[in-house]
Amino acid sequence: MKIEQVKIDKLIPYARNSRTHSDAQVAQIAASIKEFGFTNPVLIDETGSIIAGHGRVMAARKLAIADVPSIRLTHLTEAQKKAYVIADNKLALNAGWDNEMLALELAEIGELGFDLELIGFDPSEFNNTAVDYSVLDGEDIEAELDGMASGVRKAIQIEFEPEHYEEAQALVKFWRENKAYVGMMVINHLRNEKNKL
């Protein structure tokens, strides 16, 4: 496999791509390309149809990049192409973080004067303070939340229908055990759904 420069107008987005990219996320990718260069080639088939890299192509358009580094995957069957469109995104999502190591790296990068938002993290994700759930016991939750210190993570109540409650509880437990920031996962999903309106 070799990297070739392909005219961006020759690249064809996969019409049934199930991965979504909000304007904010495309802007993040564009900022990353400006900072680091186009380090991750787009994967295409022999016709120029995109298999992986839709977000990078959208960011390249935003930056008015005419030629995009690409790799042609001519050995894949139609079924493999369809599967890899999903696998390329899903497999990366299945990875976790070593939060202690991440905190050390982010602190050192920040000390070197690097803009941490270029890495793709929301600044609120750098806050490793404990979560205060006691506010949920109060009668006036909103007033108590507003009165809490700004550096403390806050919990909100989300209602579920009875048939969804056990699955929601299990999913939250799973992601907390895998050191994920569940609050940001919820925000990202709700933001993406809002962007579809």
Q: Per-residue DSSP letters for the chain?
A: --EEEEEGGG-B--TT------HHHHHHHHHHHHHH-S-SPEEE-TT-BEEE-HHHHHHHHHTT--EEEEEE-TT--HHHHHHHHHHHHHHHHT----HHHHHHHHHHHHHTT--GGGGT--GGGG--PPEE-GGGGSS-HHHHHHHS-TTSEE-------HHHHHHHHHHHHHHHHTT--HHHHHHHHHHHHHHT-
Q: Give CA separation, 84 vs 6, 12, 26, 71, 131, in Å.
A: 21, 16, 21, 14, 38
Tens of pLDDT, residues 106-118: 888 888 988 888 8
Q: What is the pLDDT of residue 188?
A: 84
Q: What is the pLDDT of residue 15?
A: 92
Judge whether residue 84 has pLDDT over 60. Answer: yes
Of 146 and 30, which is predicted with more confidence? 30
Q: What is the pLDDT of residue 4?
A: 96
The residue type at 20: T
CB 70, CB 5: distance < 8 Å: yes
The CA-CA-CA angle for residues 53, 57, 58, to 5°, reads: 115
- Share the mean pLDDT of the chain: 84
- Report which listed range, 80-94, 125-139, 165-179, is most confident: 80-94
CB 12, CB 49: distance < 8 Å: yes
